[in-house]
């Protein structure tokens, strides 16, 4: 079984976020990047399938040279191969453009199951995975906390609100967008990292995928015009002073609430 995992490399969760010079994204120079946390759960879910049987796990990412580090990490965790779509024309492509690229890779790979994270920590969009499924004509499920594979189908549990779960059965081929917390993600072992250096990373351009005219940023139907720090609304009364002074003020407030 061929299992594909879609990976996005995003700014590290503790990275400093400064708006860039033209005000349309953040300043990416000199900040740390990491695999989108949701996607790490997707990689883990795929590796568990591999551990259980005969799955080949291919990780796919789109982005500039720095993305290689994310792919190497996933290979170090145990993925078999990587595909890196590295093409300046794809930089800034909207969700549908990225979905078209991922769908083309999935077709080329003949993926039976596609895993992705529910959303990305940077743009918080949760847009791409169901788009990929639609483009391929695959059934899909999002926000998945548990998977149970049989020969021809996957039964998944989707997280709804208030602790409810929706159980859905998807025939293969299918796409599953994993919710964070679905599993305990393994770390890349030292041995894994050493082995990863020998694993293949196929670098592709949009032209290689036959998408030069259809999936580049020039085709965007959605454009980010401006990124900014939100105006503060009714913000909190900020207590200031030494620790003792601040704590004293808080205790007074708690007394006023009748809780002391």
Q: Which of residues 23-52 bind another protein (CB under 8 A)?
A: 26, 37
Alpha-carbon distance of 50 to 1, in angstroms, equals 9
Size of the site for another protein (CB under 8 A): 85
Please report whether residue 218 would count as binding another protein according to CB under 8 A. Answer: no
Question: Which is closer to another protein, CB of 198 or CB of 221?
Answer: 221
Alpha-carbon distance of 103 to 34, in angstroms, equals 23
The least distance separating another protein from the CB of residue 153, rounded to whole angstroms, comes to 8
Main-chain phi, psi angles of 119, to 5 degrees: -150, 170
Please report whether residue 181 would count as binding another protein according to CB under 8 A. Answer: yes
From candidates 39, 44, 45, 94, binder to another protein by CB under 8 A: 94
Structure tokens belonging to residue 257: 């609430």
DSSP state of 187: P
Question: Which is closer to another protein, CB of 96 or CB of 193?
Answer: 96
Alpha-carbon distance of 98 to 90, in angstroms, equals 8
Asked whether the beta carbons of 116 and 39 are under 8 A apart, the reply is yes
According to DSSP, the residues that pair with 174 across neighbouring strands are: 113
Q: Which long-range contacts (CB under 8 A, 24 or more apart) does 150-158 make?
A: 154/113
The least distance separating another protein from the CB of residue 69, rounded to whole angstroms, comes to 20
From candidates 27, 155, 195, 205, binder to another protein by CB under 8 A: 155
Asked whether the beta carbons of 84 and 61 are under 8 A apart, the reply is yes
Chain residues 232-251 in contact with another protein, contact rule CB under 8 A = 232-239, 243-244, 246-248, 250-251
The least distance separating another protein from the CB of residue 255, rounded to whole angstroms, comes to 7
Question: Which is closer to another protein, CB of 195 or CB of 219?
Answer: 219
Alpha-carbon distance of 142 to 165, in angstroms, equals 12
According to DSSP, the residues that pair with 117 across neighbouring strands are: 178
Please report whether residue 163 would count as binding another protein according to CB under 8 A. Answer: yes
Chain residues 112-141 in contact with another protein, contact rule CB under 8 A = 118-119, 121-135, 139-141
Question: Which is closer to another protein, CB of 2 or CB of 172?
Answer: 172
Question: Which is closer to another protein, CB of 196 or CB of 211?
Answer: 211
Note the maximum CA span of the chain.
69
Please report whether residue 151 would count as binding another protein according to CB under 8 A. Answer: no
The least distance separating another protein from the CB of residue 165, rounded to whole angstroms, comes to 4
Alpha-carbon distance of 98 to 225, in angstroms, equals 19
Contacting range for another protein; rule: CB under 8 A; set: 27-35, 85-93, 201-209, 227-235: 227-235
């Amino acid at each position: 079984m061929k299992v594909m995992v879609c990976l996005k490399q995003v700014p590290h969760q503790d990275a400093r976020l400064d708006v860039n010079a033209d005000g349309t994204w953040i300043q990416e120079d000199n900040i740390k990047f990491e695999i989108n946390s949701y996607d790490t759960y997707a990689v883990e879910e795929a590796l568990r399938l591999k551990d259980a049987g005969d799955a080949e796990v291919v990780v796919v990412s789109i982005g500039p040279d720095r993305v290689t580090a994310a792919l190497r990490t996933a290979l170090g965790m145990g993925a078999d191969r990587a595909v890196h779509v590295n093409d300046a024309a794809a930089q800034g492509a909207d969700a549908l453009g990225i979905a078209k690229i991922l769908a083309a890779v999935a077709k080329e790979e003949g993926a039976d199951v596609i895993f992705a994270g529910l959303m990305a920590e940077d743009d918080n969009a949760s847009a791409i995975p169901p788009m990929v499924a639609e483009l391929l004509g695959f059934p899909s499920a999002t926000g998945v906390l548990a998977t149970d594979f049989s020969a021809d189908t996957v039964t998944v549990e989707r997280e709804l609100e208030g602790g409810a779960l929706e159980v859905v059965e998807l025939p293969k081929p299918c796409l599953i967008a994993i919710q964070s917390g679905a599993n305990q993600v393994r770390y890349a072992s030292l041995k894994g990292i050493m082995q990863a250096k020998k694993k293949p990373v196929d670098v592709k351009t949009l032209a290689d995928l036959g998408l030069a005219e259809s999936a580049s940023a020039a085709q965007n139907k959605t454009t980010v015009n401006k990124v900014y720090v939100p105006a503060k609304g009714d913000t909190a009364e900020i207590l200031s002073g030494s620790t003792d002074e601040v704590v004293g003020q808080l205790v007074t407030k708690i007394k006023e609430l009748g809780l002391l």
